[in-house]
Structures are given as C-alpha cells and as structure tokens.
Amino acid sequence: MIAVKREGIILEKTDLAFENDGVMNPAVIAEGETVHLFYRAVREGNHSTIGYCRLEGPLQVVHRDKEPLLYPQFDYESQGVEDPRIVKIEDAYYLSYTAYDSISAVGALAVSGDLKHFTKKGIITSQFTYSQFEELICSKGHPADKYFRSYNNRESYTSSGKKVYLTDKNIVFFPRKINGKFYFLHRIKPDIQLVCIESMEDLTYDFWINYFLDFTQ
C-alpha cells in the first residue's frame, strides 16, 4: 500500500484582482527539484484565468506571477480559461484546459516550448451540438440510455441564435506518444473517452463525425 502524507495548503487566493475568489485545480509538472504549478485562478463573478507559480523542494513557493499567464482572448473562452492539465511530449509542453463562454464548456489546447510563452491552438473537441451528437451515435443502433440524461440534453442554440456545444472537456494527454501517435482522454458525461491521432491537425469536422459514428463500439 502506498503511504500518503498530507502536506496541507500550499497556495491560497490573494488580493490580486485575477485570483481574489479562489485558486484551485492545478496542473503540475516537475523538472528535477523544480515544480511548475499552473492553477485555475478565479476572480469575483466566476471569471477564471490560469496563474503560474514555481516551487522548490518541492513545497516552497519561490516565485508566483502577479498576473495571469493565460487568460480569455477568444469568444469561446470569454468566461473562463479553466482546469489546466500539462504534459511534456518530446520537446513541447501541451497544456489542455476547459474553455468556457458561460454557456458551453469544451476542451482547448495551448502549446509551449519553454513554459513561459504559450500558443493557443483553439478548441480541439468536436464543437457539435447535443442533437448532432445524438444523431451520430444513434445512426448505427441504440446506445446506452446514459448518454441521454438531462446533463447532456441541451438546446442546440440560445434564444439569440448562438450555438450551444455538447459539453466535452477534461482533456488529459498521455505523457508520451505510443507508436508515434498522440493519445488523450476526454469526458462526455457520464464516461471517459479515448482519442488517438497522429497530429492535432487530424481533429477535423470529419474526424469527429467518424469518431461518433463508432462511439459506442
């Protein structure tokens, strides 16, 4: 059995505007004795960004940014850049996060070569509505009723005509390629699903159509 020692709180909210309501759900990556922490920083009104701090030892905070490292820049993440996860694959760092616009919550990706400068790659989940998802997964039979429960059954558009995406988030990349391919987990309630691709460019509209056609296999 693995013994677990509780070390207590290592990071708390501050009076800084971007994290005055809470800090939580960090992505962590260690390099030697240095631990890099990318955390969800919440300001009043439930607006989220991603903050950064560096730890040594590994529990002593030796540096903490006074501004968010990643923040909303696009409509699809206007309400929040949330719940990061990070891995290093070969020479690049892949930071996945939940993009939230106050209506849809979807999986997005940012990539870095130095943990300081990140390039956003946009949404990498399907961008389908629930009705599109339902039509595709039902086209080859009758999938389990669990996918049709209330938490997935949403309107396809808001009253103003804005598209409402199927909730698909919590992306976690495997920390290395397998047979030259990327693998990542994602979550369409109530399960966890697996994706295998050769490159991020594979995640096209047609890819997701084929993925959902075989979704219940």
Reported confidence tier of residue 145, pLDDT bands at 50, 70, 90: confident
pLDDT at 181: 98
pLDDT value, residue 151:
63
Q: What is the per-residue DSSP string for the chain?
A: --------------SSGGGSSEEEEEEEEEETTEEEEEEEEEETTTEEEEEEEEEETTTEEEEE-SS-SB---SGGGSSEEEEEEEEEETTEEEEEEEEE-SS-EEEEEEEESSSS-EEEEEE-S----HHHHHHHHHTTS---GGGGSTTT---SB-TTS-B-PPPBEEEEE-SS-BTTBEEEEEE-TTS-EEEEESSGGG--HHHHHHHHHTTT-
Interval 179-203: pLDDT, tens: 999 999 999 998 999 999 999 999 9
Is 141 part of any domain? yes
High-pLDDT (> 70) share of the chain, % = 96
The pTM score is 0.93
In a domain, 33, yes or no: no
| pLDDT tens by residue, 72-102 | 999 999 999 999 999 999 999 999 999 999 9
Number of domains in the chain: 1
Query: Would residue 86 count as lying in a domain?
Result: yes
Q: Is residue 4 part of a domain?
A: no
Give a yes or no: residue 64 inside a domain. no
**pLDDT by residue (tens digit) across 44-56?**
999 999 999 999 9
Q: Which domain holds residue 120?
A: 72-213
